[in-house]
Amino acid sequence: MPIVTIQQFPRDLAQKRELARRITEAFVEVYDLKPESVQVFFNEIDGEGWAKGGVMGCDNAST
Amino acid sequence: MPIVTIQQFPRDLAQKRELARRITEAFVEVYDLKPESVQVFFNEIDGEGWAKGGVMGCDNAST
Amino acid sequence: MPIVTIQQFPRDLAQKRELARRITEAFVEVYDLKPESVQVFFNEIDGEGWAKGGVMGCDNAST
Amino acid sequence: MPIVTIQQFPRDLAQKRELARRITEAFVEVYDLKPESVQVFFNEIDGEGWAKGGVMGCDNAST
Amino acid sequence: MPIVTIQQFPRDLAQKRELARRITEAFVEVYDLKPESVQVFFNEIDGEGWAKGGVMGCDNAST
Amino acid sequence: MPIVTIQQFPRDLAQKRELARRITEAFVEVYDLKPESVQVFFNEIDGEGWAKGGVMGCDNAST
């Protein structure tokens, strides 16, 4: 550990690559850990699998 | 928050829409929250990704 | 399944009892399941274990 | 409960079937539970959804 | 990975130690992994944080 | 969303505050999101609730 699990909308690989790099860097610098101890998991969920305010993402034009 | 994560078999959108509406309504009424603070995530898993009693769902006719 | 995991601020038992009852009822009615198949887990996290907008809950008077 | 959630690379069904059988057996013997109380969920994530040491799995030949 | 997260009632350390040993052994033998790649997390929840069939564990004499 | 859940050893508030700030900043810059959409949860687990390589953290002097 630490294990980081991210629930998010689908993103392209380049964005996830950059995000994982920066999150890992934050752990290394703030917690003084070796990079290899940090794992990041992306759980990608689209608008048919997520609701906010009781409204599915796919039904909400403003999401 | 609150963040609600549901591990379930795949369901059609109409069912998830109704369930998210009712779960959100329950939080609003019981916890006295604004609807927008409630998010619901559906993690859908089929019978090849779930086991009960040591038997995979896809192997169990009674599941 | 379904398994429902709720990440929330600590609440008293009476509120969690009522919420679990209503969420379970929603699954039974919308998905046509037996009540016993529904399990609800409450993961309670206080303001020192949660951040929104980059600000810890314990630091934010408006949370 | 217990509910076991496994974050892993994709595996074939025969391997998951054997793993679920052995994990369930361990709970039954160590915790003295009925097999039916144990549920196992497999969350399968490929190298475009997972990073270690700040490097995506799909970018790391040694993963 | 793999990362194993277990939602369970509180158990004593000796039981968790034995369970973690056996689960890890199962991964090593079935998936042909090094033991060090397997991490197990115990999320212990008591009867005031868990419901089945819409009834909190602490309210159910048969749980 | 995004919702970020971190499984980690207990850390002091100052470290979690700084980490949440930096993780949120990474999402804002890489995904072009509003900070308020990012929530971070810290699930803190000690050496009696975590194992690596089949050995509980509390049993391993090198952890």
Question: What tens digit of pLDDT does each residue of F19-49 get?
Answer: 999 999 999 999 999 999 999 999 999 999 9
Residues of chain E neighbouring A1 (CB-CB closer than 8 A): 39, 41
Q: What is the pLDDT of residue F62?
A: 63
Neighbouring chains of F at 3+ CB pairs under 8 Å are A, B, C, E
SS3 per-residue string spanning D2-63: CEEEEEECCCCHHHHHHHHHHHHHHHHHHHCCCHHHCEEEEEECCCCCEEECCEEHHHCCCC
Q: Do B38 and A58 touch (CB under 8 A)?
A: no
What average pLDDT does chain A have? 95
Per the DSSP assignment, residues forming a β-bridge with B40 are A51, B4
Who among F49, F54, F56 is closest to E35 (CB)?
F54
CA distance C57 to chain B (A): 11
Residues of chain B neighbouring D16 (CB-CB closer than 8 A): 48-49, 51, 56
Continuous segment of H or E residues that includes residue A56: strand A55-56
pLDDT in tens, A23-47: 999 999 999 999 999 999 999 999 9
Who among A13, A24, A41 is closest to D7 (CB)?
A41
Q: Do D26 and E23 touch (CB under 8 A)?
A: yes
Q: What is the pLDDT of residue F1?
A: 87
**Interface residues of chain A, partner chain F, Cβ below 8 Å:** 1-9, 11, 15, 18-19, 22-23, 26-27, 30-31, 45, 50
Please name the residues in contact with F43: beta carbons below 8 A apart, sequence gap of 6 or more.
Answer: C43, C45, C49, E43, F5, F6, F7, F8
Q: Where are the domains of chain C?
A: 3-58
Who among A2, A8, A45 is closest to F6 (CB)?
A2
Q: What is the CA radius of gyration of chain E?
A: 15
Residues of chain C neighbouring E53 (CB-CB closer than 8 A): 24, 35-36, 38
Amino acid code (one letter) for E55: V
Contacts C–D by Cβ distance under 8 A: 9
Does the N-terminal peptide bond of residue D10 adopt cis geometry, omega within 30 degrees of 0? no
The label of the residue with tokens 């819409």 reads: E54
Per-residue pLDDT tens, chain D, 63 aa: give them: 899 999 999 999 999 999 999 999 999 999 999 999 999 999 999 999 999 999 999 998 765
pLDDT in tens, C4-47: 999 999 999 999 999 999 999 999 999 999 999 999 999 999 99
CA distance C42 to C46: 13
Q: What is the pLDDT of residue A62?
A: 63
Q: What is the pLDDT of residue E60?
A: 87
Confidence of residue B34 (pLDDT cuts 50, 70, 90): very high
Residues of chain B neighbouring D40 (CB-CB closer than 8 A): 50-52
Residues of chain B neighbouring F4 (CB-CB closer than 8 A): none
Q: What is the pLDDT of residue F16?
A: 98
Q: What are phi and psi of C38, to 5 degrees?
A: -100, 125
- Give the ipTM: 0.95
Q: What is the pLDDT of residue D60?
A: 87
The pTM assigned to this predicted structure is 0.95
Pick from C3, C6, C38 the residue to mutate for testing the D interface (most D CBs within 10 Å): C3
Residue F8 reports pLDDT greater than 70: yes
Reading the block at residue D49, the tokens are: 């959804």
Q: What angle do CA D23, D28, D34 make, to 5 degrees?
A: 120
CA distance F56 to E42: 11
Q: What is the pLDDT of residue F60?
A: 87
Superfamily of domain D3-56: Macrophage Migration Inhibitory Factor (3.30.429.10)
Per-residue pLDDT tens, chain E, 63 aa: give them: 899 999 999 999 999 999 999 999 999 999 999 999 999 999 999 999 999 999 999 998 764
CA distance A50 to B17: 9
Domain C3-58 sits in CATH at: 3.30.429.10
E3-59, which class in CATH? alpha beta
Question: Nearest chain F Cα to C60, which residue?
Answer: F17
Who among F50, F54, F59 is closest to E41 (CB)?
F50
Helix (H, G, I), strand (E, B) or coil at F62: coil
Neighbouring chains of E at 3+ CB pairs under 8 Å are A, C, D, F
pLDDT in tens, B1-33: 899 999 999 999 999 999 999 999 999 999 999
Question: Nearest chain E Cα to F49, which residue?
Answer: E42
The label of the residue with tokens 């992306």 reads: A42
Who among E7, E53, E58 is closest to C35 (CB)?
E53
The widest CA-to-CA distance across chain E, in whole angstroms, is 44
Q: Do A50 and B36 touch (CB under 8 A)?
A: no
